[in-house]
């Protein structure tokens, strides 16, 4: 049985979770299927953020491989943080009816402002958590100090993403606006966005993913994401009538930013789509769940995960990686970036320009000075 040692360590002046084991390629590849797993030459081990959630995730993930997990060095950390969780358990209890009623009106107010359903759910969720925190602290909801305390306790300490922090700020700002409060009087500064390059698959890697899928519906879904450069939300919202096989276009309606657009309908994908349609006979949406209605985001993620398990791809691939790969491969084939911007539905060319940093074609043109030494 392969032994894994989990322990809290300091790395770059920050506490992280060290994952140590005697080198085993099978264990390494299985571990890297998780997000946010890094290798440290200094620690000579893999590591990730330190939290109760990450400990649980690592433990369950490696148990699948039959590993023996030694987390004895984490016992003190687990006990201390469990106590904090119990101490703050008031946060998960029901809030008073007057706040429930106010949040329901807040939701309706956001709907009238024509925010998307996803945005409304996110804003209401983060605002609900913030209100619970205010009640726990017995503090004024509109206090600058409370906003700062919440940011520290629930965003900085748990090492939440910059994206989550921005969602919190946006949600609370809208709640303040809804209540007629001058939110600009409170300092709600946004953090700098992380400048990360997208994960891009090679054409052979994309092909290997498709070749690993035997289920026709699953193959059709992932093929659509790549061949049309769609977001997963756009794909599962597609209706049968949105496919225009005469003009070889796909009509994307009210996508991000409430914009309509057209994107490519691949002739090769049409062949797969027709076979899928005959076999599954969807009624309204192009991809439907077993009980009808839209196919779920979660099911789509499982489809990709199962496909990746069958390949030897070690990149941290998500459904969105197929969209990134579509854009990058178009750019490498010489497609004008303005057309790529239109196909992806980007508001600004600056967003599309990120793909110029990951194109294989442009990087290959650079002569490496190391080659001149030999």
Angle between helices 319-332 and 297-310 (to 10 degrees): 70
346 is annotated as an active-site residue: yes
130 is annotated as an active-site residue: no
Q: Cα–chain-centroid distance for residue 96?
A: 33
Give the Cα separation of 18 and 16 in Å (integer). 6
Residue tagged active-site, from 132, 219, 329, 346: 346
Residue tagged active-site, from 174, 323, 324, 329: 323
Q: Encode 73-84: b = buried (16+ Cβ within 10 Å), e = exposed.
A: ebeebeeeeeee
Residue written as tokens 């400990």? Answer: 55
114 is annotated as an active-site residue: no
247 is annotated as an active-site residue: no
Starting at the edge strand that comes first in sequence, how are the strands of the sheet with 38-40 ordered? 38-40, 45-49, 14-20, 3-11, 68-70
Q: Pull the structure tokens for residue 54.
A: 């990450």
Helices (H), the chain: 25-31, 52-63, 75-87, 97-112, 117-137, 144-151, 162-178, 203-211, 216-228, 232-237, 267-280, 297-310, 319-332, 337-344, 349-352, 360-364
Residue tagged active-site, from 218, 219, 231, 329: 231
What single DSSP character describes residue 317? -
259 is annotated as an active-site residue: no
Q: Pull the structure tokens for residue 115.
A: 């925010």
Give the Cα separation of 217 and 97 in Å (integer). 45
Give the Cα separation of 7 and 19 in Å (integer). 7
Residue tagged active-site, from 28, 256, 294, 316: 256
251 is annotated as an active-site residue: no
Positions marked active-site:
231, 256, 320, 323, 346, 355
């Amino acid at each position: 049985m392969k032994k894994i040692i989990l322990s809290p360590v300091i790395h770059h002046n920050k506490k992280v979770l060290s994952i140590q084991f005697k080198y085993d390629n099978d264990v390494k590849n299985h571990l890297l299927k998780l997000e946010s797993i890094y290798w440290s030459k200094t620690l000579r081990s893999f590591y990730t953020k330190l939290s109760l959630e990450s400990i649980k995730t690592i433990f369950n993930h490696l148990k699948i491989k039959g590993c023996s997990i030694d987390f004895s060095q984490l016992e003190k950390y687990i006990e201390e943080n469990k106590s904090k969780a119990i101490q703050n358990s008031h946060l998960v209890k029901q809030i008073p009816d007057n706040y429930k009623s106010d949040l329901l009106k807040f939701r309706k107010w956001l709907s009238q402002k024509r925010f998307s359903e996803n945005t409304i759910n996110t804003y209401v969720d983060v605002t609900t958590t913030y209100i619970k925190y205010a009640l726990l602290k017995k503090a004024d909801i509109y206090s600058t100090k409370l906003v700062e305390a919440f940011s520290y306790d629930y965003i900085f300490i748990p090492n939440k993403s910059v994206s989550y922090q921005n969602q919190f700020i946006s949600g609370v700002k809208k709640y303040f606006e809804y209540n007629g409060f001058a939110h600009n009087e409170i300092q709600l500064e946004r953090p700098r966005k992380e400048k990360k390059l997208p994960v891009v698959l090679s054409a052979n890697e994309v092909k290997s993913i498709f070749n690993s899928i035997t289920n026709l519906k699953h193959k059709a879904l992932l093929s659509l994401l790549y061949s049309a450069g769609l977001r997963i939300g756009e794909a599962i919202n597609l209706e049968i009538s949105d496919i225009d096989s005469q003009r070889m276009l796909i009509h994307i309606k009210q996508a991000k930013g409430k914009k309509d657009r057209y994107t490519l309908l691949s002739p090769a994908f049409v062949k797969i789509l027709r076979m899928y349609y005959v076999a599954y006979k969807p009624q309204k949406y192009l991809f439907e769940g077993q009980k009808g209605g839209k196919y779920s985001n979660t099911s789509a993620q499982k489809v990709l995960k199962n496909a990746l398990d069958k390949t030897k791809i070690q990149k941290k691939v998500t459904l969105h990686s197929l969209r990134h790969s579509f854009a990058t491969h178009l750019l490498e084939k010489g497609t004008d970036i303005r057309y790529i911007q239109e196909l992806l539905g980007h508001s600004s060319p600056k967003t599309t320009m990120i793909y110029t940093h990951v194109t294989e074609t442009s990087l290959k043109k650079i002569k490496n000075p190391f080659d001149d030494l030999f």
